[in-house]
C-alpha cells in the first residue's frame, strides 16, 4: 500500500492542476494518466473510477483548506476568529474556484467527506463561542446556518462574478447570519438566562470536560443540558 501512496498523490495533484486549468471545470482521466505516465487501469485500481478520483480531489481540497485554517492565528476572542473564518472561507473560494465547486456543489454519487469535515471545523469554532457565552443557539445549528450562507455566497461569487463582485455583499450576508446566532451582534430582550447558561456549560464540557463526574454522570448532565436548550428553543 505504501508503494502506491506517492502515485496516488501524484494523480490527485495532476487532477487538481487539470481542474484549475479547465474552462468547464472538468477532468479527463486519460489526461491525468498521461500527466503521471501511467495507464488508465492504474487509475481504476487506485480510485475505482472517475467518480472516485473526483472524490479524492475534493478531499484533497479539504486538506488544503484545513491547512490554511490551522495556519490562521487563533486569538482569545472566538467571535473575532469566527469573523476571520468567514472571510478566510471566501478567500479560499476565490483562489480555488474549480476546486471549491467540486468540494461544495452537491453530487448525488459523491462519497467525499470534504463538506462534513469543513462543518466539523466550524462547529469547533462555534463551540468556543458558546463556551464564552457568545452563542444563542447550539453550535451544530449555528454551523448549519453559517455554512449554508457562506457556501451559497461563495458559489454565487464564483458562478456569476459580474453580479456578485461587491465584497460588501459577503459582509452583509455574514452580519445578517451572525446576528441570528451570536449574542455579540444582537441584543435579545427576552433572552432566557437558563438557555444561555446551558449552552455555555455544554460547550465547556465539550472543550475541557470535567473530572468531578463519572462518565455516566457526565453523559446524563449533557442530556439534561440538551433538553433545556431544545425545550427553550422550541
Query: How far apart, in whole angstroms, are the C-alpha atoms of residue 102 and residue 106?
Result: 8
> According to the model, what pLDDT value does residue 126 have?
96
| Distance, CA of 203 to CA of 78 (rounded, Å) | 13
Distance CA 60, CA 114 (A): 8
Q: What is the average per-residue pLDDT within 97-118? A: 92
At residue 55, does pLDDT exceed 90? yes
Contacts of 234 (CB under 8 A, 6+ apart): none
Q: Rounded mean pLDDT of 38-66?
A: 95
| Alpha carbons 152 and 163: distance in angstroms, whole number | 14
Let me know: does 98 contact 54? Beta carbons within 8 Å. no
User: What pLDDT was estimated at residue 28?
Assistant: 93
pLDDT band (50, 70, 90) for residue 23:
confident
Q: What are phi and psi of 113, to 5 degrees?
A: -105, 10
Query: Tens digits of per-residue pLDDT, 56-72?
Result: 999 999 999 999 988 88
Q: Where are the alpha helices (DSSP H) in 132-191?
A: 139-159, 167-181
Indicate the average pLDDT of the chain: 87
SS3 142: helix
Instruction: Inform me whether the pLDDT recorded for 167 exceeds 60.
Output: yes
Q: From CA 85, how far away is CA 150, in angstroms rounded?
A: 10
What is the pLDDT averaged over residues 11-38?
93
Cell numbers representing residue 131 in the block: 463556551
pLDDT the model gives residue 2: 43
CB of 22 closer than 8 Å to CB of 70: no
Q: What are phi and psi of 233, to 5 degrees?
A: -70, -35
What residues contact 97, with CB distance under 8 A and at least 6 apart? 25, 158
Q: Among 88, 95, 156, which residue's Cα sits nearest to residue 122?
A: 88
pLDDT at site 221: 82
Interval 138-151: pLDDT, tens? 999 999 999 999 99
Place of cell 457526565: 218
> Can you tell me the distance from the alpha carbon of 193 to that of 103, in angstroms, rounded to the nearest whole number?
39
The pTM (predicted TM-score) of the whole model is 0.75
Other Cβ atoms less than 10 A from the Cβ of 228: the count is: 18
Amino acid at each position: 500500500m505504501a508503494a502506491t501512496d506517492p502515485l496516488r498523490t501524484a494523480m490527485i495533484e495532476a487532477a487538481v492542476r487539470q481542474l484549475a486549468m479547465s474552462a468547464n471545470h472538468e477532468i479527463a482521466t486519460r489526461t491525468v494518466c498521461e500527466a503521471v505516465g501511467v495507464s488508465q487501469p492504474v487509475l481504476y485500481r487506485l480510485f475505482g473510477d472517475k467518480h472516485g478520483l473526483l472524490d479524492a480531489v475534493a478531499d484533497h481540497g479539504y486538506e488544503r483548506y484545513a491547512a490554511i485554517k490551522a495556519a490562521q492565528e487563533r486569538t482569545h476572542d472566538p467571535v473575532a476568529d469566527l469573523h476571520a473564518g468567514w472571510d478566510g472561507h471566501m478567500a479560499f473560494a476565490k483562489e480555488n474556484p474549480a476546486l471549491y465547486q467540486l468540494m461544495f456543489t452537491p453530487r448525488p454519487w459523491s462519497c467525499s467527506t470534504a463538506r462534513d469535515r469543513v462543518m466539523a471545523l466550524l462547529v469547533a469554532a462555534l463551540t468556543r463561542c458558546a463556551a464564552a457565552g457568545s452563542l444563542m443557539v447550539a453550535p451544530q445549528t449555528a454551523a448549519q446556518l453559517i455554512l449554508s450562507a457562506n457556501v451559497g455566497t461563495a458559489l454565487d461569487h464564483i458562478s456569476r462574478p459580474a453580479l456578485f463582485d461587491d465584497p460588501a455583499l459577503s459582509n452583509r450576508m455574514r452580519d445578517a447570519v451572525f446576528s441570528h446566532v451570536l449574542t455579540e451582534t444582537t441584543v435579545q430582550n427576552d433572552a432566557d438566562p437558563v438557555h444561555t447558561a446551558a449552552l455555555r456549560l455544554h460547550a465547556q464540557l465539550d472543550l475541557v470536560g470535567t473530572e468531578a463526574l463519572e462518565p455516566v454522570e457526565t453523559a446524563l448532565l449533557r442530556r439534561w443540558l440538551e433538553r433545556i436548550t431544545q425545550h427553550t428553543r422550541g
